Structure 1
Amino acid sequence: MNATTRRIVIGTAAVSMAVSLAACGKAGDDDKAGSGGDGKSIGLLLPENKTTRYETFDRPIIEAKVRQLCGDCKVRYNNAAQDSETQKKQFDALVTQGVKVIILDTVDYKAAKSWVQQAAKKGVKVVAYDRLAEGPISAYVSYDNEKIGQLQGEALVKALGAKAKESNVVMINGSPTDPNAPFFKKGAHTVLDAQVKKVVYEQDIPDWSPDEANKKMGAAIDSLGKDGFQGVYSANDSMAGGIITALNKQGIKVPVGGQDSELAGLQRVLRGDQAFSIYKQIKPEAETTAEIAVKLLKGEKIDQLTPTKVDSLSGEFKGIPAKLYDAQVVTKENVAGTIIADKVYKAEEICTPEFKAACEAAGIK
């Protein structure tokens, strides 16, 4: 989730090292993390754990990179479990403890505005990670999210094939509190509105909830009938799982797309239950963020790491230094050449007995 395709391998050794280090920054483990006021602590606040990527990749990679760049730096970590008020308390606690740089992947980008403003007054620099919070952000690292939506739309059109122009599509979008969700939606609409017959049902899903996506898909089937749509856009893989369960219950087989290349999503892609996912190389995003945070902590310039400027979604905060990575579509034809080749998952992790035949058919051994 490449104009210039980046083959930045998530090496097995690097990930295993990162995972082993992850234990050093458990949520709420502040006493072991050392004093926040010593100028050597970086806060890391991630939004939720329903999506497997955050605990499996983002957190351990960021923690490992910080320690590689700054041997005596400490990472003070917390996960908000999709609760904005919890994240506010975690953020405020870091500021109170004297942490001067906070990596923030926000639950609710609008709610974060006042926190970031108050922190800035105290000299705290906030690096927006993956999602752009409102406020005077010091740097932002993510993906070209509108382009990701376009990739999703194009992949769904391709999956619909020759009948795309006569096809009706259901859209199940991401959380309204996630600033990336409108960009995914906008990008997808630019493609689908021009290349399919009609988007006949559309819903935003709070908290990216697979259960809620399942319910909304059920409601769409009740409203449209089993033959009332020919494809489903899902903003991510977790929700695609809920959507496909609802479709299977009614005996409906149509293309469904996703995003994030989660393990379960990849398995569905290989088996043919899900048409595609989007592969966002997390390692470069996470490592760049860690590098920016360390430089800010040391008072060094970050210009070379942030070649782009972006404005906040509201337009109130302009010219935020940013680095935006590209992404790519993953289908059963290229799982081996992307996910396996980049060592995101090992073949044996994907190819459990239930998916062994699907893996062999895709050339994964």
Structure 2
Amino acid sequence: MNAISRRLVVGSAVITLALTMAACGKAGDDDKSSDSSKDKSIGLLLPDTVTARYEKFDRPLITKKIQELCSDCSVQYDNAGGDAAKQAQQVSTMIAKGVKVLILDAQDAVGIKSSVQAAVDKGIKVIAYDRLAQGPVSAYVSYDNQKVGELQGQALLTAMAGNANPQAKIVMINGDDADPNAAEFKAGAHSVLDGKVTIAYEQSGLWKDTVANQKVKAAITSIGAANIKGVYSANDTMAGGIATALKGAGINVPLTGQDADLTAIQRILLGAQSSTVYKAAKPEAENTAQIAVDLLEGKDFKSIADTTKKSGSGNEVPSKLLEAVSVTKENIKDTVVADGTYTAGQICTADYASACAAAGIK
């Protein structure tokens, strides 16, 4: 092949390669612009894996409802594993991924404020889920947490029966102060308990069974096992650790909880826990999913968020606050079983079969 021929072949190859690359580049741009799931991306950040409900109920229910409402929406998910700094990084990652709406259950409602602001500055709508994060959030979906605390306090007094008097000493194990809900549960419980019993020991259990266990052991040492007439636990995870501590000390007194965890329902059947609070995950998750899709599509969501709540940063946030239910042995069948949260088979394993039969659960 002579020099002229080689130049013609090389030149032709270069032109062909350039056209091919241009075509590929154009196709890539088309893919990006036509990929509606990228334009309809919703982020979901949950706070921990210790609380059983988040992975078992909240995540799948929210994801399912979003996909029912918006078939071409995608859901980007992550869990902070109880680490506030990790969750802040996860918000940054969601921003980088280009989510349009972010559903955020804050591990630290105060500390996450700057992350919320950063997301909003990028045009992302933020929904505070279950816990009211500080900063310019667009909506908030949760239960009426003050009333949850009131339900817990009243359930404890009811279970204490004749032992409920101003001299009766109880132990109070509250949630994590970084969670604004914890303060509301606490305030609600105090509004019912104060003056009716003596709160002889009160500490935060940080939503952890191990911490709650240690705190109650300290309370037993301080107060004396025989002097404790009841224990307020802000949730079921902590109640599990508390029940172990009480059993180890030979104490059997009323013990509250919250979240209607399966293990809590089983403890209630055996008498190791007297009550829990059932906050059905489905309505909370589905209302949140509907608001997320409405925000994504620029629709009005105020018919769902029919009230407002002021956050710790002073923001008035359109809110949906649901009503919770106190659960005792007497109404397990009519609440968590009737709603399909758990089947009788899930609750009534071999160790709980006779207790289930006594409670009419089959």
User: Which TM-score applies when normalising by structure 2?
Assistant: 0.89
For each residue in 1:210-230, what CA deviation from the matched residue of structure 2 results, as whole angstroms up to 9, or x when unmatched?
A: 001000000000111112220
Alignment of 1:328 with 2:325, yes or no, is yes
Determine the C-alpha separation between the residues in 2 that align with 1:269 and 1:50. 20
Determine the C-alpha separation between the residues in 2 that align with 1:292 and 1:250. 48
Partner residue in 2 for 1:357: 354
User: 1:227 is paired with a residue of what secondary structure?
Assistant: helix
Partner residue in 2 for 1:82: 82
For each residue in 1:244-272, what CA deviation from the matched residue of structure 2 results, as whole angstroms up to 9, or x when unmatched?
A: 10011111111111010000000000111
Q: Is the 8 A contact 2:38 2:74 kept in 1?
A: no
**1:324/1:52 CA distance change after superposition, 3 Å:** same
Q: After the TM superposition, which residues 1-365 of structure 1 pair with which residues of structure 2 at under 5 Å, given as runs?
A: 38-165=38-165, 166-196=167-197, 198-206=198-206, 208-314=207-313, 316-317=314-315, 319-365=316-362
User: 2:303 is paired with a residue of what secondary structure?
Assistant: helix
Determine the C-alpha separation between the residues in 2 that align with 1:351 and 1:97. 44
Partner residue in 2 for 1:16: none
For each residue in 1:317-359, what CA deviation from the matched residue of structure 2 results, as whole angstroms up to 9, or x when unmatched?
A: 1x21000001011001100011111110000000000000000
Determine the C-alpha separation between the residues in 1 that align with 2:257 and 2:106. 21
Determine the C-alpha separation between the residues in 2 that align with 1:244 and 1:278. 17
AA aligned opposite 2:235: N
Q: CA deviation at 1:66?
A: 0.3
User: 1:232 is paired with a residue of what secondary structure?
Assistant: strand
**1:122/1:37 CA distance change after superposition, 3 Å:** farther
For each residue in 1:173-222, what CA deviation from the matched residue of structure 2 results, as whole angstroms up to 9, or x when unmatched?
A: 001111100000000000010322x100000122x110010000000001
Determine the C-alpha separation between the residues in 1 that align with 2:182 and 2:191. 14
**Segments of 4+ moved more than 2 angstroms:** 34-38
Report the aligned-residue RMSD: 1.3
AA aligned opposite 2:60: P
- Number of positions where the alignment pairs a residue of Structure 1 with one of Structure 2: 328
**1:255/1:349 CA distance change after superposition, 3 Å:** same
Determine the C-alpha separation between the residues in 2 that align with 1:205 and 1:159. 22
Q: Is the 8 A contact 2:80 2:107 kept in 1?
A: yes
Q: Is the 8 A contact 1:37 1:99 kept in 2?
A: no
Whose relative contact order is higher, 1 or 2, with alpha carbons under 8 Å and at least 6 apart? Answer: 1
AA aligned opposite 1:199: I
User: Which TM-score applies when normalising by structure 1?
Assistant: 0.88
AA aligned opposite 1:333: E
AA aligned opposite 2:336: I
Q: Is the 8 A contact 2:37 2:73 kept in 1?
A: no
Q: Is the 8 A contact 2:131 2:179 kept in 1?
A: yes
User: 2:164 is paired with a residue of what secondary structure?
Assistant: helix
Determine the C-alpha separation between the residues in 2 that align with 1:292 and 1:61. 14
**1:36/1:132 CA distance change after superposition, 3 Å:** farther
Q: CA deviation at 1:84?
A: 0.8
Q: CA deviation at 1:118?
A: 1.6
Determine the C-alpha separation between the residues in 2 that align with 1:35 and 1:256. 52
Q: CA deviation at 1:117?
A: 1.1
Determine the C-alpha separation between the residues in 2 that align with 1:291 and 1:101. 12
Q: Is the 8 A contact 1:44 1:76 kept in 2?
A: yes
Q: CA deviation at 1:35?
A: 7.4
Q: Is the 8 A contact 1:39 1:297 kept in 2?
A: no
AA aligned opposite 1:39: D
* Percentage identity across paired residues of the two chains: 52
Determine the C-alpha separation between the residues in 2 that align with 1:92 and 1:295. 23
Q: CA deviation at 1:37?
A: 8.4
User: 2:210 is paired with a residue of what secondary structure?
Assistant: helix
Q: CA deviation at 1:39?
A: 1.7
For each residue in 1:119-145, what CA deviation from the matched residue of structure 2 results, as whole angstroms up to 9, or x when unmatched?
A: 111111100000000000100000000
For each residue in 1:48-98, what CA deviation from the matched residue of structure 2 results, as whole angstroms up to 9, or x when unmatched?
A: 010110011000000000000000100000011000111111111111121
